[in-house]
Homo-oligomer: A and B are copies of this chain.
Amino acid sequence: MSKWVYHFEEGSQAMRDLLGGKGAGLAEMSSAGLPVPPGFTITTSACREYYANNKHFPDNMWEQSLAALSDVEEKTGKTFGAPTNPLLLSVRSGAAVSMPGMMDTVLNLGLNQETVKGLAELTHDERFAWDAYRRFVEMFGEIVLGTPREKLLRGASQIYGASSNGSHAHHDDVETIKLIVQRYQDIIQGETRQIVPEDPYEQLRMAIAAVFDSWMNRRSIDYRRINNIDDSIGTAVSVQTMVFGNAGDDSGTGVAFTRNPSTGQPVIFGEYLTNAQGEDVVAGIRTPLPITYMAESLPDTYRQLIQIADRLETHYHDMQDIEFTIERGKLWMLQTRTGKRSGRAAVRVAVDMVREGVITKDEALKRVTPNHLEQVLHPVVDPNADAKVLTKGLPASPGAASGKVVFTADDAVKWAERGEPVILVRTETSPDDFHGMVAAEAIVTSRGGVTSHAAVVARGMGKCCVVGCHEIEIDYPSQLFMVGDTPVSAGDWVTVDGNEGQVLLGNIPTIEPILDEYFDTVMRWATEVKRLGVRANADNGPDAQVARDFGASGIGLCRTEHMFFEDERIDHMRDMIMAPNPIARAEALARLEPFQVQDFMDLFRVMDGYPVTIRLLDPPLHEFLPSHEETMLAITDRKLQLRDASTLAQIDELMREINDLTETLEQIERLQEKNPMLGHRGCRLGIVYPEVTEMQVRAIFTAAVRCHQQGIQVIPEVMIPLVAWVTEYRAQEEIVRRVASEVFEEYQIELDYTVGTMIELPRAALTANEIAEQAEFFSFGTNDLTQTTLGLSRDDSARFLAGFVANGIMPDDPFRSIDATGVGELVRFGTDRGRAARPDLKVGICGEHGGDPKSVLFFHNAGLDYVSCSPYRIPIAVLAAAHATIAENESHQAIVPA
């Protein structure tokens, strides 16, 4: 017989997959002797069976639950459904991975017309008992029976009177509450043709089913898709004795992090509300007090809480996110779980915990996710900018972002889809707003605290968020909000400062963050651990300097063509392209050469002692010419001017211009391509115009010997782009070696250098063995390799790609994370075949994927030597590379007997 139900004492943290995060936490805490209200957990496998079984409980699950329940009755001395001393239960969801606020919870279960009286007698507080009953009916009606929440609230406020604005909980008299309960029942019956059952066991049965069902509600599914969580794992259900934080002023409820989740400071951080249930804190309906205030108002409980927090950290070796309730002075732990944290906090907590001796360096590195680092690297508002602070709130999630104000999640999605950055402004957010939060650049709420829904979700997404901006008064129908006398309408620009907790008027500039010693420490550790080299894609001295500052171990890709677009260079470039013959072409090239020499010298200087991979000219020549249309319009324009020209000089000038433009137009037409991505570019240019290759190679080696003369250690690697046939490579390599020799001869200096190639076409990967017989290194150009392998233009596909990812056609944007099955297969192929022909072949990758953590893991596993990415992505790549090494070491340890 399957075991579907576990007492809290039977489980442990290790059973997270079976009991869910919450269930495992309660079990672990119970086992550790912490004060946890008794209860039991129905397993995730019961949930899976429920779905497999067409939404029927698995055999025996109900019976096992009843047995566990009677055990709880015994422990508490209370009886479920009894008119005197009734046992009340909470029924909560909890999957193996945290999905905060996504699924449903029912509290105060077990109350009915009879037991409410028993509770009143027991507590000597009829108002409390009826308020608990009201809460139960509201929740059950909404969550289990599906009554729209607004309908219920509107019904209640009609009784309270419109002015109370919903914040009505504890100061109303019993009779009003009884009326509300009755009104709720009427509304529920009217909306659902069902009533909240009197039978507590029926309540329990329905609540368990409702929690199972909430696994498949819209927002849960959305959340899992965004976070790549498997739909099939299911949720567990924890059934637990209710304790009441709303049983008077010596009661309360709170949530806390054992350290500051924004900054990582090792000080307990959280909020509490007296005389309240947990929902009041999470939903942000009442703004709670900082937890440190407890030291004064409930000093004993506060001390106890601090001790428990310490025990939990020691027990779990990580910062915890806890929920607790104080019932008439007694502290109950309701939940503990690994605390979500900002990037900054993640970095600091990891470093601190190593220093405290709690975790190892590897463990610390694993605790810092690439997403955390991205947050750390997030921009801040430029302090020198002329910014007007509109209002202040709580800094819920760091970063800074500007955008246009929108007031609904749907608008956020709609505006974002047409490319407009948006800031979602809400009174408070609910799980139904999730899609809008995804779409928004930042989130602002007028209510709620740093553990409100908006704050938790935004931090999880690494998205800038400011909550509790009390001054903001939103007028949804008018699509505006007021701060005092200042109106801000939908579409107006605001800038959100998640670090300072401010909202600024207008589109304010932001700047890169200053990185602290915790960051430096993590980067140093990661660098020590990782096997993959991390280089930078950089085309000039300043970019190379950023890369060095971030610890790049070389330049993996210098795109020489970027050097041609600047200033007067573009004119020489165009002269080169318009040249009627090789001699004129050579002259134009000669004028370009000094610039190239200077550029390469700058790079070599910054990269003293590190390799610099220089790619020869890659894009088709027409990219350097003006567009066909532009030129044609210019000709039309001159012709129109010619009509009105009055002097001969004017006419002569215009005629000359028309002639020049016509010549350019003809060359543009000759060079025009239908698919430039697949056109006359890369090494194909150098084969047809060897003089271009010659000039570039001469510049590279002239720069190299000059730097060498200045005492700089230069390690040039010449890279030939877009090779499909080894014969192409050979033709270009011959030029490189010949010209290098000429330069060495001229300067009487001989330098080591290597020649290699981009592997960016499927054919190159497929014939890598042939190519590796010639080439000394490979660098996978995964941008182009993705474009060709998938037949997908990066420029043109943006229009439909997001939709394809959203519809599950592809798991990820293949230009962000490498398509491991398709493109990745060619990377493995190319690497293996290349190494088969040349065992010491150096293999790297220099596409955008070099800075994507998932892809970095892939490249590590494929056995590459290095990744190269844009300078600002280097920390991410270094960390991802360290993670890959740690994962590999762990998997090795796992298979080596102890």
Contacts and interface: CB of A to CB of B under 8 A. Distances in A.
Interface of A: 628-629, 632, 636, 673-680, 684, 687-688, 722, 724-725, 727-728, 731, 760-763, 766-767, 770, 784, 787-793, 795-797, 799-800, 803-804, 807-810, 819, 821-823, 825-826
Contact of A790 (B677, B763, B770, B796): B763
24 contacts: A628-B629, A636-B636, A673-B795, A673-B796, A675-B793, A675-B795, A676-B796, A677-B677, A678-B787, A678-B796, A680-B796, A680-B797, A680-B799, A680-B800, A684-B804, A687-B804, A724-B791, A727-B810, A731-B807, A760-B791, A761-B789, A761-B791, A762-B789, A762-B826
B800 A688 contact: yes
B679 A796 contact: yes
A585 B811 CA distance: 30
Residue with the greatest number of chain B CB neighbours at <10 A, chosen from A678, A761, A795: A678
A767 B822 CA distance: 7
Residue with the greatest number of chain B CB neighbours at <10 A, chosen from A673, A675, A789, A790: A675
Q: How many copies does the complex hold?
A: 2
A791 B722 contact: yes
Contacts of A810: 725, 727
B677 A678 contact: yes
Given A722-B791, A762-B822, A677 B675 contact: yes
Contact of A675 (B770, B796, B808, B821): B796
Contacts of A791: 677-678, 722, 724, 760-763, 784, 788
Contacts of A821: 763, 766-767, 770
Nearest to A803: B688
Given A687-B809, A784-B791, A793-B674, A819 B680 contact: no
A797 B676 contact: no
A809 B678 contact: no
A790 B809 contact: no
Given A629-B628, A687-B804, A724 B792 contact: yes
Given A674-B795, A793-B675, A809 B727 contact: yes
Nearest to A723: B791
Nearest to A628: B629
A799 B672 CA distance: 11
A677 B674 contact: yes
Contacts of A728: 809
Contacts of A797: 678-680
A628 B629 CA distance: 9
Residue with the greatest number of chain B CB neighbours at <10 A, chosen from A787, A790, A796, A797: A796
Contact of A762 (B724, B762, B800, B804): B762
A674 B673 CA distance: 10
A666 B542 CA distance: 40
Contacts of A826: 762, 766
Nearest to A727: B809
Contacts of A678: 675, 677-678, 787-788, 791-793, 796-797
Nearest to A825: B766
A670 to B, nearest CB: 8
A180 to B, nearest CB: 47
A834 B770 CA distance: 27
A621 to B, nearest CB: 12
Contacts of A724: 790-792, 822
Contacts of A770: 821
Contacts of A787: 675, 678
B725 A809 contact: yes
